[in-house]
Amino acid sequence: MSPATTVLTAIDATIAWQEELYRHLHQNPELSMQEAETAAEVTRRLESFGYAVQQIGGGVVGVLDNGPGATVLFRADMDALPVEETTGLPYASTRTSVDAEGVTVPVMHACGHDLHITAGLGAAEILSRNRDAWSGTYIALFQPGEETAQGARSMVDDGLVDKVPTPDVAFGQHVLAFPEAGKVGTTGGPILSTGACIRVKAWGKGSHGSMPHLGVDPVLLAAAIVQRLQGIVSREIAPTQFGVVTVGSLQAGFKANIIPDHATLLLNIRAYETEVREQLLSAIERIVTAECEASNSPKPPEIELYEPFPLTANDEATNARVTEAFRAFFGEDRVVQMPPMPASEDFSTIPNAWGIPYTYWGFGGFTPEMNALPNHNAAFAPAIQPSLRTGTEAAVVAALAYLGKAE
Ligand SMILES: [Zn+2]
Ligand SMILES: [Zn+2]
């Protein structure tokens, strides 16, 4: 038997508390960069497993030094989303919180980070209980603020690199609608795109609704911008390249008979290649500026980039080693090839801070009988099992691919 198989024979003892913790976390979600209760819970658990624990930049890092050998870092994210839960589960969230803009919003673990935390803690306990099966150092890292691209950066800015041993390799995972529950999906190279949000404020000139000729209508201007932006991906990006431009929010005015003085647009972009990302950004700036001029806008638009997400590109050799270990443990049919996804992550900020290789994989959250929903959906409710067990096993198997003792 491989070290992973030996170590994971006793997983049922861990599963019992994991399911209870998962329901608790699901019912008590916290917004990005507000994960105080979650971080306290993670800290308590890691300490009880014998880890040396530190709070870094809103996150929690537990280090388990178990003799000579490699150092492996496993990262889980802890934040929830401003979404009103509609799952109808007995442990559904009814929480609200005040967001960064001071607005009271509902909060829900609609991205499954509650599963990530629970799987990460389960793996941490299993590795601690089975120290005779491996040698090296295991780092269990729990980061805040993934959804807003702030959390990994916050930990790095708070000195992560100097506060914990330098890992040889870093891992991250995400529960997804594909593959099906019980399976893991891996790939070498790019797996998640770069992403960014852009806030555009386009200026008009307010007027009475009956006297449009005396004003500059920012509603018409914003509509022209939205239309024209659609040409970037379809007409400017090569058909073989990947790029997305979405206008997720468009706001102007409050009343039918008042022409407002400005419109605000919130855009989201995705790309794999740096050149494509630059092309999207410069095309957006060019179009917004030109449309404002075309509308006789009284002053130049404000264009602000926020929540920039880095590229997630798996190291080929690391992915190959982990995929091989997954196949040996789960069997060929439970390890699928993951297509690159248009979503984004800030995970790579952590390994990139050290310049170490990493790999990031997906694990299934829905059985074939279920209606598999995309992450961020208000009814996102993965099957606790086999999802939680698979996520926990995957973390242990990947770690032991570097830390396990040959038998
Ligand atoms: Zn998410
Ligand atoms: Zn997520």
Same domain, 234 and 178: no
Same domain, 299 and 338: no
Q: What is the pLDDT of residue 406?
A: 67
CA 76 to centroid of ligand 1, rounded, Å = 12
The closest ligand to the CA of 112 turns out to be: 2
What does each C-alpha distance from 132 to 70, 86, 257, 322, 337 come to in angstroms?
15, 45, 75, 21, 33
Same domain, 282 and 324: no
Q: What is the pLDDT of residue 10?
A: 87
CA 165 to centroid of ligand 1, rounded, Å = 29
Same domain, 291 and 167: no
Residue 121: half-sphere exposure toward Cβ, Cα within 13 Å: 32
- pLDDT > 70? residue 407: no
Rounded CA-CA distance 386/377 in Å is 21
Rounded CA-CA distance 151/145 in Å is 4
CATH number at residue 230: 3.30.70.360
For tokens 């949000």, the residue is 197
Nearest to 338 by CA among 188, 201, 230: 188
CA 250 to centroid of ligand 2, rounded, Å = 25
Tell me the average pLDDT of the chain.
97
Q: What percent of the chain has pLDDT over 90?
A: 96
Per-residue pLDDT reduced to its tens digit, 127-136 = 999 999 999 9
Residue 92 has φ and ψ, to the nearest 5°, of -65, 150
CA 3 to centroid of ligand 1, rounded, Å = 33
Same domain, 287 and 387: no
Given 246, 280, 308, the domain boundary residue is 308
Given 291, 308, 325, the domain boundary residue is 308
Per-residue pLDDT reduced to its tens digit, 39-89 = 999 999 999 999 999 999 999 999 999 999 999 999 999 999 999 999 999
Rounded CA-CA distance 352/328 in Å is 29
Rounded CA-CA distance 2/386 in Å is 22
CA 77 to centroid of ligand 1, rounded, Å = 10
CA 111 to centroid of ligand 1, rounded, Å = 5
- pLDDT > 90? residue 188: yes
The closest ligand to the CA of 113 turns out to be: 2
Beta bridge partners of 65: 137
Q: Are 298 and 158 in contact (CB under 8 A)?
A: no
- pLDDT > 80? residue 358: yes
Could you give the dihedral angle defined by the CA atoms of residues 2, 185, 181 and 127, in that order, rounded to the nearest 10 degrees?
A: 40
Q: Are 133 and 405 in contact (CB under 8 A)?
A: yes
Q: Please count the structural domains in the chain.
A: 2
Q: Are 139 and 73 in contact (CB under 8 A)?
A: yes
Rounded CA-CA distance 105/98 in Å is 6
Which domain range does residue 204 map to? 194-308
The closest ligand to the CA of 376 turns out to be: 1
Provide the pLDDT confidence category of residue 3 given band limits of 50, 70 and 90. Answer: confident
Same domain, 35 and 82: yes
Per-residue pLDDT reduced to its tens digit, 236-281 = 999 999 999 999 999 999 999 999 999 999 999 999 998 999 999 9
Nearest to 75 by CA among 367, 356, 386, 270: 356
Residue 348: DSSP 8-state:
T
Q: How far is CA 14 from the centre of its chain?
A: 25
For tokens 């198997």, the residue is 397
Ion ligand 1 neighbours (CB, 5 A) are 111
Same domain, 185 and 213: no
CA 148 to centroid of ligand 1, rounded, Å = 9
- pLDDT > 80? residue 235: yes
CATH number at residue 179: 3.40.630.10
Write down the H helix ranges in 232-273.
none
Same domain, 139 and 54: yes
The closest ligand to the CA of 116 turns out to be: 2
Given 260, 281, 308, the domain boundary residue is 308
Least confident of 4-8, 14-18, 109-113, 278-282: 4-8
What average pLDDT does this structure show over 315-341? 97
| Beta-carbon count within 10 A of 369 CB | 7
CA 113 to centroid of ligand 1, rounded, Å = 8
Rounded CA-CA distance 92/137 in Å is 37
Q: What is the pLDDT of residue 205?
A: 98
CA 345 to centroid of ligand 2, rounded, Å = 8
Same domain, 227 and 301: yes
Same domain, 27 and 163: yes
Q: Are 225 and 287 in contact (CB under 8 A)?
A: yes
Rounded CA-CA distance 279/44 in Å is 47
What average pLDDT does this structure show over 295-323? 97
Same domain, 25 and 171: yes
Same domain, 347 and 252: no
Per-residue pLDDT reduced to its tens digit, 149-171 = 999 999 999 999 999 999 999 99
- pLDDT > 90? residue 405: no
